[in-house]
Chain A
Amino acid sequence: MTNFIISQLANTIPQLSIINSQLSIDKLGDLLVYQRSEPMLFSSGLFFFLFIGFLIIYMSLRKHLLTRIIYVTLFSLYFYYKSSGMFFLLLLFVATSDFCIAQCMARTVSRWGRKAWVVLSLCIDLGLLGYFKYFNFLREIAASVAHELGYQLGNASLQNITYQPLDIFLPVGISFFTFQTISYVIDVYRGRIDPLRRWIDYVFYVSFFPQLVAGPIVRARDFIPQIYKTPAVTRAEFGEGLFLVLCGLFKKTVISDYISLNFVDRIFDAPLLYTGVENLLGVYGYALQIYCDFSGYSDMAIGIALLLGFRFNVNFDSPYQSATITEFWRRWHISLSSWLKDYLYISLGGNRKGKIRTYINLLITMLLGGLWHGASVSFILWGALHGVALAVHKFMMSHFSSFKPLGSEMKPWRRVLGILLTFHLVCFGWILFRADSMQAVGEMLTQIFTNFHPEVFTQFVTGYKGVFILMVVGYILHFMPKSAENGLQAVVTRSPLLVQAVMLAIAIFVVVQFKSAGVQPFIYFQF
């Protein structure tokens, strides 16, 4: 009897639930403190409310420079605390140490003395980055080297060394803010900018919340002058900012999150369970996913900064439209590639030390650039692939005049060919970047080249309708000419306030639909 009642209850629960759902104050408390598993994202409901609150005070402090700087800095630190807990102190420490070092450097006259300050700053910044991001990786390598040595030398104690990872928390965005603060110290050293006089101004720069967690890497010399201006947003900038936020939301939470969960991750988890055609589509899907994820979040960051009166540089410029690998690196994650060029490639000597050294410098830059993305061999290989490709392209350009750096300088057929080749080279790189092991890389390539089964394609289209439509839409939008994009942006800009609000509300509606979409079950194709 009880059983019967319970099963009846279970059937009526959905109707009851709406009435019964209630707001909880306890949950509000939980929500506002640091939760390790839930970093604050621009696409979260919490950020929406916090931002409204933030904006009201920000507006009223528009003309009060120092108060505004302190206020924004405090909000940024809170934002960081929400994502990384007490590690906001680390952020403060890095900012303070580099602020002091730059001050000291400005008072040092001798060249060697100035150099010593830069080295100290690099040791601190890279030391912290190294500890949090690469320490386990280095220990793993050391352990396997020791193991191998022990095996070769017959030393039992070396053979017995086993690797146990330490539980090191990776503070959110550490790769971004250390690179920002390094750019400041080196620019002061090179005499490009004067050191800041006020500590809080520097903390403001390092902690500014829009780019804090996932970039773009904003240079001190671009950003600092904007701190002192009374913030202003024109109608055009307003429209642009809103347009960027809308694009970013769509790219990140609709395209990227959906296709990764429902398709791409599965292929990379177990390539042998899928045919070659599914593997190939998985790679194309991943190319779109990583672009939409990364650039989508960048777009939101740039858009939000713009709405607050700060202009960041463009970070992604339709990279898959590139006709050469050189062009790709001028369009992909521009804030990182230009950082690497200015502070690593040029510091290594750039192209001023002969041809061989140029190629070597290029390779080293890309290897370290690969490593920046994460501590694993696969990222180094990915960097090496791009380094070699850039070097080969540079070699071809210097020996054959028909090889150009940009697609816009090519004949149309050659440009199309170049885009296809570059895209597939980049996709090959993405396999290295994403696959869990070299074995998985081999498995994917084997499936694509020896087990293709093209007949499965139509089943894929019907089976994974949502994924397929999103992929097609994503690539079509990506390859749209710039004029079309400008047109869309102009539409958003010119729309009256109410229409703009409806656009944003619809975007939020769509995001919610996708966030709660059921996980697409595995689909087994017959072949």
Chain B
Amino acid sequence: MFRIFVVSKESTQMNKDNNFGRLLLLLLITLGICLGFYYLPDQLFGMKIKKVDLLSDLRIKPESLAMDSLRMQLEQPDTVRIDSAAVRDSILKTTGIDSVALALRDSLYKVMYADQGADSLGTRIEDYSVGHIGLKRFFAALGNSREADRPVRVAFLGDSFIEGDIVVADFRSGMQEQFGGHGVGFVPITSVAAQFRPTIEQKAEGWTTWSMLTDHHHRYTLSGMTFEPKEEKPSISVKTTDRYPELKTVSSLKFLYETNTRTRMELVCNGTSDTIRETLEPTSVITQYEQTGTFTEASFSFADTAGFRALGVALEDNSGVIVDNYSLRGNSGMILSRLDSARCRELNEIRPYDLVVLQYGLNIVSDSVLQYGWYAKRMEEAVRHVRVCFPDADILMLGVSDRSRQVDGSFETMPAVLALLHAQRQAARRSGVAFWNVFGAMGGENSMVRFVENNWASKDYTHLSFRGGKEIASALLNAILLEKEFYDEADKVAR
């Protein structure tokens, strides 16, 4: 059909007059019909239809009114009533910091930054804990990191937004540059994004993946996945990459499993011909097998695997900062309240976390929904549960990133993003945890359009590219370092 040059025989029979008048008439009738389209109902035969509006370029966009009210909502002062006195009492009981000291910290922060609560630019961490102690344990661990006998551990939880180590890789690299440490940290046996991940080369064969998203029988911990041998000899091999200087070599190689009866393991490190043969100890709690030395590669293979269930490997130093990427595609964060607390404590025993970052929201935001109070409630539950599971870790909640929708062929921020951001901030407020505004750090409204133009984000106007992740990571790092300045200052005052 897409052929072009056709002179039909009929042309001789048709009049050789000019048809400009006909053309003008054609356009005017079409114009009339199109103006008529404007009055079509929003639905036709059960299908939603978009308004045909030839004058749309001249019209003041109606959405902007809805956006206005959402913007106002974001700027509202604290809408959550918190019984501060009761909270202070409970903090006093758990941490031993008295309420006077807490009040002092709050006022010190006000003096230093003249500002508290929502930050529309994402330059600051918004701390909703009473007494501004939301990241106290994390910063204390960072301060002691040179002397401590274990690394400072960060668990970066999220969805496909951080898949393949987008954002996290640059955040990790920045932290390790500042506070020391090497290695990519925990790597699940396999994942849908394994090949896409540039911070580790991995290959796994012979495993069945169980995922928390689809399965309710197994007991899950942070990665939300567990792996069972499918074949006689399952295997996994990993190799470091030099994408970041901190990843090239590591001094500790670990293998994490959660149940075992008599599995025999063969391990080849750094491609040498020496094979380490071990029989893994029988267990029903999360256990790690560790080798120390200098590592760039490792290949594990297993036999006699009845009753064996594995989690993954870890490539890291036992000092500095280690950031584990726990991304799970399609996760909205709400299922975190289903984490198995006993399993999590076992994990915390061998990998004690100082900070848990929660990056969620993109799997909830929907163009047709502007109310996310129910989600905020579910996330409060999730945060409460994470606290029970990891009692020594601080929690940093990230707000949703910008996401666009298409209107008349151009892209603009989904109003729902603003509504969700508001709900997430309320959840952080009610839970009394630290919060960071990713949307603001990206540049606020319509920043996704700029990200896509710069090739910093994918054409679905939702996910970042590695380059875009680098921007967010550096903004997050700056916000954390800025916040650390306050803690350092407050410590001086306390002394």
Contacts and interface: CB of A to CB of B under 8 A. Distances in A.
A315 B18 contact: no
Nearest to A522: B460
Contact of A270 (B18, B20, B458): B458
A232 B18 contact: yes
A295 B404 CA distance: 29
Interface string A9-32: 111011011101111100110010
Given A10-B370, A521-B462, A313 B407 contact: no
Given A7-B73, A265-B459, A522-B460, A508 B52 contact: yes
B18 A62 contact: yes
B289 interface: no
A307 B460 contact: no
Contacts of B419: 10
Contact of B460 (A266, A309, A489, A512): A266
25 contacts: A7-B371, A10-B73, A13-B66, A20-B60, A27-B58, A45-B56, A52-B27, A58-B20, A238-B23, A247-B1, A265-B458, A269-B459, A302-B4, A307-B23, A316-B4, A317-B5, A478-B1, A478-B2, A493-B10, A504-B26, A509-B37, A516-B409, A519-B462, A522-B460, A524-B329
Interface of B: 1-8, 10-11, 14-31, 33-34, 37, 49-63, 65-66, 69-70, 72-73, 76, 79, 160, 164, 192-193, 195-196, 329-330, 367, 370-371, 404-409, 419, 458-463, 465
A231 B21 CA distance: 13
Nearest to A486: B6
Contact of B330 (A307, A316, A524): A524
A49 B405 CA distance: 27
A376 interface: no
A22 B404 contact: no
Interface in A26-49: 27-28, 31, 44-46, 48-49
Contacts of A451: 195
A486 B8 contact: yes
A205 to B, nearest CB: 21
A373 B303 CA distance: 56
A3 interface: yes
B50 A512 contact: yes
B372 to A, nearest CB: 11
A3 B79 contact: yes
A517 B30 contact: no
B196 A273 contact: yes
A165 interface: no
Interface stretch (A193-201, A343-351, A411-419, A495-503): A495-503
A28 B197 CA distance: 48
A342 B26 CA distance: 40
Interface in A469-527: 477-478, 480, 482, 484-486, 488-490, 493, 497-498, 500-502, 504-505, 508-509, 512-513, 515-522, 524
Contact of A269 (B10, B30, B462, B465): B465
A302 B3 CA distance: 12
Contact of B27 (A7, A51, A270): A51
A110 B371 CA distance: 82
Contacts of A122: none
Contacts of A11: 370
A459 B144 CA distance: 51
Contacts of B21: 59
A302 B196 CA distance: 44
Contacts of A261: 406, 459
A244 B6 CA distance: 11
Given A17-B62, A266-B460, A501-B33, A49 B26 contact: no
A299 interface: yes
Given A236-B14, A270-B465, A512-B50, 19 more contacts: A16-B62, A22-B59, A23-B58, A62-B20, A235-B11, A266-B459, A273-B164, A302-B4, A314-B5, A485-B1, A490-B8, A497-B29, A501-B26, A501-B33, A505-B34, A512-B51, A518-B406, A522-B463, A524-B330
B1 A484 contact: yes
Interface in A253-279: 260-261, 265-266, 269-270, 272-273
A485 B27 CA distance: 24
Contact of A505 (B16, B30, B370, B371): B30
A266 B458 contact: yes
A238 B22 contact: yes
A477 B1 contact: yes
Nearest to A247: B2
Contact of A55 (B1, B7, B23, B76): B23
A266 B462 CA distance: 11
Nearest first, the 6 closest Cβ-Cβ pairs linking A and B are: A17-B62, A236-B11, A501-B29, A235-B14, A314-B5, A505-B33
B214 to A, nearest CB: 9
A237 interface: yes
Contacts of B28: 52
A160 B55 CA distance: 54
A109 interface: no
B19 A13 contact: no
B19 A233 contact: yes
B25 A497 contact: yes
A23 B55 contact: yes
A505 to B, nearest CB: 4
A56 interface: yes
A6 interface: yes
B163 to A, nearest CB: 8
A233 B62 contact: no
A109 to B, nearest CB: 40
A482 B3 contact: yes
B211 to A, nearest CB: 10
B195 to A, nearest CB: 5
A467 to B, nearest CB: 13
B19 A234 contact: yes
Contacts of A10: 66, 69-70, 73, 370, 419
Contacts of B7: 236
Contacts of B404: 519
A61 to B, nearest CB: 11
Given A22-B59, A266-B458, A516 B50 contact: yes
Given A27-B58, A508-B34, A518-B406, A272 B24 contact: no
A242 interface: yes
Contacts of B160: 522, 524
Contacts of A125: none
A518 B367 contact: yes
B11 A234 contact: yes
Nearest to A242: B26
Given A7-B371, A10-B69, A45-B57, A477 B330 contact: no
A307 B21 CA distance: 11
A240 interface: yes
A518 B462 CA distance: 12
A313 B406 contact: no
Contact of B19 (A58, A235, A524): A235
A145 B37 CA distance: 60
A96 interface: no
Given A273-B196, A516-B408, A9 B69 contact: yes
A260 B458 CA distance: 12
A159 B297 CA distance: 33
Contacts of A295: 2
A136 interface: no
A504 B34 CA distance: 10
Given A501-B30, A524-B329, A59 B24 contact: yes
A234 B52 contact: no
A247 B55 CA distance: 24
A251 interface: yes
A13 B59 contact: no
Contacts of A480: 1
